[in-house]
Structure 1
Amino acid sequence: MSVHRTLLHVDLRPLAGHRFQPTGFPDLGAAEFDTTEGRTLAVESYQSMANRLEATTWDEATTEQVPALDGLPYVRIVDGTGGFLSSSRLEAHRLASAYIMNATIDGTKGDEWMREHLGLQAGRPLDNRAVARASFALDPLALVHGVFFARKGWPWQPRITRAVTSFIDAYDVRPAVTGGVKRDVVINEAKDGATAEGYGTVPHHRVEYTAGRITAYFTTDHAQLRAYGLPEPATALLEALIDYEIGSLLDGGLRLRSACDLEVVDVQGARPDPTEAATRITKLLGECADDLGPVTTAVWTGRSKG
């Protein structure tokens, strides 16, 4: 029987001490809710974990993808002088980024270039497999972490959902209320708007948490990967990339924030080995050569209005 989904449970704990700082949401702060295990806390969201997984493929120091993925295509966004700005690995909307859609690619406006590559035609049904093939050729990780081409002027707005879903929750949580002070040795009193200018001694409060258990979850939808209709080596490459990302994230340490540095305690399920996954990727890149394009350069010279 084929496996439709695999689930990895990873138990974590603070690297030092017991307290940790969860992610904060606008107008909400920390997200607390009740489960059968008591008071529960969202430590890291789906979106944030997708970004952290994808970040394992990118070297910030060299502004290039990591050497283990050499030969894998992506879209590189540069300015008019060729200076690096961003890439499809760093953009929240990946291939649908405004910096790609409003750029120039091979002398053509980005959204027109992308629409042509995706094979979208007015009066014709949306070919989801053609969209998947085109996305694979431009940046296979768009098929792993999802992309939504929300373009009003297009005949269709293709959406690819995440094939990997990950988040971190903490259970049996309790707030750890602490505080501190920003001390000024010259001007002690904060009067007449001095604090807005950075002067004065200002006390502040801080809320962290302790937990009975912290768990990271990674779910891979293999049925979705197969539904793209790609050749078998291409599907295997996507699975190898997923293993590389998860293994690299767990081995590299989960320093989510300055006050949230977590380490792995136990793994339930097959823990991916990033070195072994990198070996598979190198082999599969050769087998998928005909289905992969080159690194695409998008030249963005600024907003057209505003």
Structure 2
Amino acid sequence: MPESEKKSPPKKLTPADVLKGESPLVLTATLEPIVGDRFQPAGFPEIGHVIYKAPRKDGSTENVCIVDSAASMANHLETVCQRGAHDLDLVEDLSGMPHIRCVTSTTEGKEPTKDREVVVTSITEGHRIASDYFLDGVVLSGDAKATKKNKDGKDEPLTLRQNLVDRFGIVLPDGNKAHPPASQWWNVFKTIFEVDPNSLVHGVLFPKWQIKIPRALTAHLEAFGASRVDRSGVKFDRLDKTTSGQPIFAVDDATAESIRATFVIDASLIRSFGRKKGETTLGLSEKQQEFLVALALWKVQKLLESPFRFRSGCHLRRTAIKSYEQDVELDVDIKTAITAAGFGEQRITDVFWPREELYREGQAGSATGGDEDDGAEETEG
């Protein structure tokens, strides 16, 4: 092979390099279906998937299909943290990473019991730490409810909402309104990092406290040169127990010249979570910032290292990964990054709901306070 045609080795990207490098870091992965050439993009009932005409510099247009939005890609990037679709424990690589669990007793009663079940975690909840499942639950200390002195000097259960307000230090003087003055943002970043660093990677919103932290890792999945493939399906009622008969329904797939996943890591945002002021560290230390970058890179690496099933008809494998046209290799030692981050001994925060309260019928109009589109996952078409 001529010297000019020899392929240069991929550039290794370490969390330290990314944190100190140019921002943002843009990674582009080329994907292909594991079988055949059709795939199923995200879509909505009676609408299907979106194909739009994107203008190009030469005056032409190209059909581009939105395979997955930023919100759906965030969901996919968080699923790689779990041991399985129905197993809420973290994978071995992330052992020791702080997160929050909503737990309830296996029997009815207002007090927690030793036999408890995990209902959701801050990894599975779309609004992460800002979900009301966590904020309105009572923090557990061992097997008992944590308490806080009220204004009358009596002990009352400590909710995660009150715990965060206290640790953030955001209650304004001479009032009960919570809002972070500039000097307290360092406490906000540090507290979230200590209890759920994943929320700093994917973004979080506490609307009542006017705390909004945007995504440090944003991703989307698109297909270029896309065409719609219309097909049909049929539902059989073999026992004749419904009035639907044998309905035929429409299904739309797609084909494309190329499928690309784009990942954007905002290193500048992560650097803004902490700095040195003389000998004092405000917010996150450099090693803690480095951990956030490591977690973002690890998520991308895990999503791409083997074929990933984005939905039932969209099973894709990576063929290449580049950064600004240069082949790259992600070099991440996530276990070392967790150790270097200096997390405390209490890595998991359990918040408790009595079983009868957690599973009672929901009320219309109730809301959780998270990123407005996070957790909203498109259907399979």
TM-score category, normalised to shorter length: 0.7 to 0.9
Q: One-letter code of the match for 2:234?
A: V
Secondary structure in structure 2 of the residue aligned to 1:18: coil
Percent sequence identity over matched residues?
A: 28
State the TM-score, normalized to the length of structure 1.
0.87
Q: Is the 8 A contact 2:99 2:195 kept in 1?
A: yes
State the TM-score, normalized to the length of structure 2.
0.71
Partner of 1:220 in structure 2? Answer: 265
Q: CA deviation at 1:31?
A: 2.0
Partner of 1:194 in structure 2? Answer: 243
Q: Is the 8 A contact 1:9 1:217 kept in 2?
A: yes
Query: What does the per-residue CA deviation read over 1:231-276, in whole Å, with 9 as the maximum and x for residues that have no partner?
Result: 1111111111111111000013221111111111222136554xx5
Q: Is the 8 A contact 2:167 2:187 kept in 1?
A: no
Of 6, 19, 30, which aligns to 1:11? 30
Query: What does the per-residue CA deviation read over 1:25-81, in whole Å, with 9 as the maximum and x for residues that have no partner?
Result: 467431222113512111001011111112211223542111111111111110134
Of 193, 213, 219, which aligns to 1:136? 193
Partner of 2:306 in structure 1? Answer: 252
Q: Is the 8 A contact 1:247 1:272 kept in 2?
A: no
Q: Is the 8 A contact 2:48 2:252 kept in 1?
A: no
Structure 2 residue 145 is matched with structure 1 residue 96: no
> 1:271–1:58: structure 2 CA closer, same or farther, 3 Å change rule?
farther
Provide the rounded CA distance (Å) in 1 between the counterparts of 2:46 and 2:271: 40
Provide the rounded CA distance (Å) in 2 between the counterparts of 1:185 and 1:244: 47
Q: Is the 8 A contact 1:128 1:158 kept in 2?
A: no
Of 30, 40, 44, which aligns to 2:49? 30
Partner of 1:167 in structure 2? Answer: 220
Please state which structure has a larger fraction of its residues in helix. 1
Q: Is the 8 A contact 2:221 2:259 kept in 1?
A: yes
Provide the rounded CA distance (Å) in 1 between the counterparts of 2:313 and 2:121: 29
Of 69, 75, 86, which aligns to 1:51? 75
Secondary structure in structure 1 of the residue aligned to 2:105: coil
Query: What does the per-residue CA deviation read over 1:144-185, in whole Å, with 9 as the maximum and x for residues that have no partner?
Result: 01111123xxxx321111001100011111111111322345
Q: CA deviation at 1:292?
A: 7.6
Structure 2 residue 134 is matched with structure 1 residue 109: no
> 1:70–1:290: structure 2 CA closer, same or farther, 3 Å change rule?
closer
Provide the rounded CA distance (Å) in 1 between the counterparts of 2:239 and 2:288: 64
Runs of 4+ in 1 over 6 A off after TM superposition: none
**More off after superposition, 91-100 vs 13-22:** 13-22
Secondary structure in structure 1 of the residue aligned to 2:71: helix
> 1:58–1:45: structure 2 CA closer, same or farther, 3 Å change rule?
same
Secondary structure in structure 1 of the residue aligned to 2:74: helix
Partner of 2:347 in structure 1? Answer: 294
Secondary structure in structure 2 of the residue aligned to 1:90: coil
Q: What's the Cα RMSD here?
A: 2.3
Secondary structure in structure 2 of the residue aligned to 1:83: strand
Is there any run of 5+ residues in structure 2 with no aligned partner, and where?
1-19, 107-115, 140-145, 147-156, 174-179, 275-283, 364-381
Q: One-letter code of the match for 2:104?
A: D
Is there any run of 5+ residues in structure 1 with no aligned partner, and where?
none
> 1:135–1:6: structure 2 CA closer, same or farther, 3 Å change rule?
same
> 1:168–1:299: structure 2 CA closer, same or farther, 3 Å change rule?
same
Provide the rounded CA distance (Å) in 2 between the counterparts of 1:25 and 1:203: 18
Of 96, 102, 122, which aligns to 1:71? 96
Of structures 1 and 2, the larger Rg is shown by 2
**More off after superposition, 249-258 vs 43-52:** 249-258
